[in-house]
Amino acid sequence: MLRTRSGPIVAAQLDLVHRYRRRLINRTLDLNLGSCVLHGDAAAFVANAIMYFDTARYDLYAWCVMPNHAHVVFSCDSRHALDRVLHSWKSYTANRVNELLYRSGTLWREDYFDTSVRDTKQLQQTIAYVLANPEKAGLKEWPYRASYPERIARVIA
């Protein structure tokens, strides 16, 4: 149990800290700080990797490849765990993007930020956030994003 000087940290406090941390990270990413190598062919390659096993290992609802990160809203099928799907994307794209850009080193952070979507409203808000991310970051007519309205409609119905 986590404790502070005034006593144990309750679940609500911990949830608040996690939400604040996530908001701070998202704001930082939206400023396009850090290594922004995902443009042109590199971004297209990551987008294609995300779409490659769509309907075979997972169902995509929306995704967006930004210059320094990616968002993907999807559900895994029962045979493919979240961590394995993400490892597959990150490992494959890191090697190929580094090759493509004549660079080496880390492309993705080791960890990832996942969110369990609990209801229809949260799903709609999450998809809207992902699709609006490029404009929020000042990227006009950003082509590296997609949504799947027919699937979203089936899930929401």
- Which sign does the torsion angle of CA 9, 13, 19, 22 carry? negative
Same domain, 66 and 40: yes
Residue type at position 42 = A
Same domain, 64 and 126: yes
Can you read off the two tokens belonging to residue 3? 């404790």
Same domain, 11 and 49: no
Same domain, 99 and 149: yes
**DSSP states of 63-81 as a string?**
EEE-SS-EEEEEEE-TTS-
Can you read off the two tokens belonging to residue 28? 């930082």
Same domain, 47 and 19: no
Same domain, 9 and 82: no
Distance in angstroms (rounded) separating the CA atoms of residues 44 and 42: 5
Residues 6+ apart with CB under 8 A from 68: 29, 32, 33, 34, 35, 36, 37, 38
- The domain total for the chain is 2
Same domain, 57 and 116: yes
Same domain, 69 and 50: yes
- What is the domain extent for residue 78? 35-156
38 in Cβ contact with 64 (< 8 Å): no
What does the pLDDT profile of the chain (157 residues) look like in tens digits? 555 566 666 777 777 777 777 676 666 666 666 678 998 999 999 999 999 999 999 999 999 999 999 999 999 998 999 999 999 999 999 999 999 999 998 899 888 888 889 999 999 999 999 999 999 888 989 999 999 999 999 998 8
Q: What count of residues does the chain have?
A: 157
Same domain, 84 and 118: yes
Buried-state track 106-138, b at ≥16 Cβ within 10 A, e below 16 = ebbeeeeeeeebeeeeebeebbeebbebbeebe
CATH of the domain at 81: 3.30.70.1290
Distance in angstroms (rounded) separating the CA atoms of residues 43 and 68: 10
Same domain, 46 and 75: yes
Number of neighbouring beta carbons within 10 Å of residue 43: 21
